[in-house]
Amino acid sequence: MYYALLKVLEAEHIVKTLFQLLRMKDNRCTTVLLLVMIQNITYVILINLNALRFFKKKDL
């Protein structure tokens, strides 16, 4: 459970950084970083979905 919570906080941090990057003006750098961030976000979302599925089964 702590791992899932940690991942949620990590995702929140990634989203904040993403919005900071969107405000930047250097397009080449921002594009590469955005791609990396999007990859990380999808990974974190998948982990969270799996964790939620696991905890729902555990509660039943």
**What secondary structure does DSSP assign to the chain, as a single string?**
-HHHHHHHHHHHHHHHHHHHHHH-S-HHHHHHHHHHHHHHHHHHHHHHHHHHHHHHHHH-
Q: What is the pLDDT of residues 6-50, one digit of tens each?
A: 777 777 777 787 777 777 666 666 677 777 878 877 887 888 778
Residue 54 belongs to domain spanning: 2-59
Query: pLDDT at residue 60 above 60?
Result: no
Q: Based on the structure, what is the number of domains in the chain?
A: 1
Is-contact 56 40, C-beta < 8 A? no
Q: pTM, whole model, 2 decimals? A: 0.39
Q: pLDDT band for 55, please (50, 70, 90 cuts).
A: confident
